[in-house]
Chains A and B, each alone.
Chain A
Amino acid sequence: MGNSRTMKFTNAINEALSIAMEADPGVIVYGLGTPDPKGIFGTTLGLQERFGPDRVFDMPTAENALTGVAIGAALGGLRPVMSHQRLDFFLLAMDQLVNNAAKWNYMFGGNNPVPITIRLIIGRGWGQGPTHSQSLQSWFAHIPGLKVVCPSSAKDAKELLLASIFDPNPVVFLEHRWLHNSVSDVPAGDVRGVLGKAHKLTEGDDVTVIGYSVLIPEALRAINYLKENHNINAELIDLKTISPLDWDTIFTSVKKTGRILAMDTSHEQCSVASEVISRVSRDCWSSLKAAPQLLALPNCPTPTSHELTKDYYFDASDIAKSIMQLMKHQTKDFAHLKSPGAHDVPGTWFNGPF
């Protein structure tokens, strides 16, 4: 443990990779573009210079086989970390991920762990459109044997990536592109978080808000506003890991508040949020004071035109509205909670192209 510094999400990822490679000579880092001049949005910059081309290398455009290669290399004694600039390309590797990585330990009777980490970046806005912005984390969460991690801050990015790399299981590590420029205090050194543990970010008795990844900063803006202006106290739970899910933390909160808003970055159908509401409805039924609320993307492919994405995503104003509905308060116009500037970029730092 060391001192915290303010650090950007991408630098936190880069630092975690460096520390993991220092800690274990078996850690190798590869992926299309890993050692190129852009270094996967800066996250892998300098690693090849520091650790050499034997441990940090580019790869053929062959997502499926290179996932299988990671599995074999892991079984052979290494700890591979793969990076993909968009989740969507990784769909070509579902065979190796689902049929091999997720089941290898189970189907061979245990004692055959597959320690691989697969970094996938989820895009949004600037016309990323139907095949560059899919949030398909529930696909991965559906498969027993995989761990699925969705950090919401630079601190979590570092701590959870280190935990993922040193976890004995295959971990899908999902970075939202819109978080890449976000900053937070990040502790120095080899700090490993805990997978499978959610974190309560705010305390409250009125309503439980469940989210993760890029939704957390949006939810915080809405919750802070409602607390200051409407005396509504929401408990925000950052899931951090969506498989395995920390049901204890969710149930404990809902049993206290009796109200739940579950949010997701994905399409609504078969989402993590709908799973949370399903379990809460079954396990906390007698505690519920209002019908659960859900915020997710429509069940429609993501269009490219920025005109069509205006109402496709939800933001702090929609979150505030949902909480007000749960509290049976008259909803107001929360337009002022919307981020200033264009709706299809995370901030002025992003000027495209991806």
Chain B
Amino acid sequence: MNTLQKKLLYSMKKIRQVELAIAAKYSEQQMRCPVHLSIGQEAVAAAVGACLEKTDSIVSGHRAHAHYLGVNGSLKGMIAEIYGKVTGCSKGKGGSMHLIDKSVGFMGSTAIVGGTIPVGVGFGLAIKKLKQQHVACVFLGDGAIEEGAFYESANFAALHKLPVLFICENNEFSVYSPLEVRQPKQRLISEMVAGMGIESAQYDGNDVELIHQVTTAAVQKIKAGQGPQFLEFATWRWLEHCGPNEDDDLDYRCQKSNSKWRDRDPVQIFEKKLMDQKLVSESEIKDLHNSIDIEIKAAFEFALTSAFPTQEDLFEGIYG
């Protein structure tokens, strides 16, 4: 494996294993906040994260664990945050839906759909005004495309040719509502965005190396001053919109699609590809799995043994 493949494999497996660990422990009722897990959507986060640098500015939405981990945001900080501890990345004020780790360029994720799109574009404006060679990256979903904030922000980014990378994960569902009750069937998101004057394309969101390749090219274009780039990736969330469980029994997604996408497990596809090419052995993958589990165990221990914020902390930080 080359360095990049190692990084992508580690990153995807870590996201998967962290999310599974959260799902497994959620019923203990100690993580007392909503969680939107990213199982099934690991490839985009891992690949895009590998294209970004610490000096870039990344924002995301409610389903942000993967994006945060994809740029190597502090795992201990995230788990402690979900447990509501003072050692959490937001000191227990934000929970799963408000993650931040500025040391790696992850500038914040928030819960209102589309809410960070203009903020990300604002980071792009600052980068341009301050004449920096960085990129602002906005993670958004197919639901956020329907928000007015998206059109307003995309228009402004195009108008000023801002250094903004839009990464749209299209998992076809806004909670239980399918794309066809929300957007015209024949209209592709990427084509519509192209119509707004932003270079756009659509790709498979479960092929991590492809995602890395096209995102690298997009970042290069942005840094060359060619303006914002929009990449749409087709993918699928495996679990319920919010919470630790599967919900295929509710039948809001057709079983054919569910099984089609589960057969296209981005983590397994990549592992198999690397093994087929004899770049990694089954035992090496197992070792990687175990070492990630040790990391996760340490993060949960850190979270569980950390202190809660005190009542004095309640009024801290209302003003900056």
Contact = CB atoms under 8 A, between A and B. Distances in A.
Interface of A: 28, 54-55, 59-60, 62, 64-78, 95-96, 99-100, 104-115, 144-145, 147, 168-169
B108 interface: yes
Counting chain A CB atoms within 10 Å of each CB, the highest count among B115, B148, B156, B320 belongs to B320
A69 B149 contact: no
Interface in B265-320: 316-320
B94 to A, nearest CB: 5
Given A62-B156, A109-B88, A67 B94 contact: no
A100 B319 contact: no
A70 B152 CA distance: 13
Given A68-B117, A95-B115, 13 more contacts: A60-B155, A62-B152, A62-B156, A64-B148, A65-B155, A69-B153, A69-B156, A76-B130, A107-B98, A108-B98, A113-B319, A145-B318, A169-B319
A72 B317 contact: no
Interface stretch (B28-36, B120-128, B174-182, B217-225): B120-128
B89 interface: yes
Interface residues of B, number: 43
A109 B91 CA distance: 5
Nearest to B319: A169
A60 to B, nearest CB: 6
B94 A72 contact: no
Interface of B, secondary structure class, is: mixed
Interface of B: 57, 59, 88-94, 98, 100, 107-108, 110, 112, 115-127, 129-130, 136, 148-149, 152-153, 155-156, 159, 316-320
Counting chain A CB atoms within 10 Å of each CB, the highest count among B59, B118, B123 belongs to B118
A60 B159 contact: yes
Contact of A96 (B100, B118, B120, B156): B118
Contacts of A110: 91, 316-317, 320
B122 A105 contact: no
A71 B155 CA distance: 17
B156 A72 contact: no
Contacts of B110: 99-100, 107
B92 A109 contact: yes
B306 to A, nearest CB: 13
Counting chain A CB atoms within 10 Å of each CB, the highest count among B89, B100, B119, B129 belongs to B119
13 contacts: A28-B129, A69-B118, A71-B119, A72-B118, A72-B121, A75-B57, A76-B126, A105-B317, A106-B93, A106-B317, A108-B98, A110-B91, A110-B320
B320 A60 contact: no
A42 B77 CA distance: 49
A74 B88 CA distance: 24
B136 A72 contact: yes
Contact of B152 (A66, A77, A78, A100): A66
A64 B152 CA distance: 8
Contacts of A100: 110, 112, 115-116, 119
A76 B123 contact: yes
B319 A68 contact: no
A78 B126 contact: yes
Nearest to A144: B318
Contact of A72 (B112, B120, B316, B318): B120
Contacts of B125: 69, 72-73, 76, 78
Contacts of B59: 72
A107 B89 CA distance: 10
B94 A107 contact: yes
Contacts of B127: 76
Nearest to A116: B122
Contacts of B319: 105, 113, 145, 147, 168-169
Contact of A108 (B90, B120, B122, B124): B90
A71 B116 CA distance: 10
A70 B120 CA distance: 10
A65 B153 contact: yes
Contacts of A106: 93, 317-318
A68 B155 contact: no
B100 A108 contact: yes
A96 B124 contact: no
7 closest cross-chain pairs (CB), A and B: A72-B122, A68-B118, A113-B320, A76-B126, A65-B152, A109-B91, A62-B152
B120 to A, nearest CB: 6
Contacts of B108: 75, 104, 108, 112
B130 to A, nearest CB: 6
A269 B14 CA distance: 53
Nearest to B114: A95
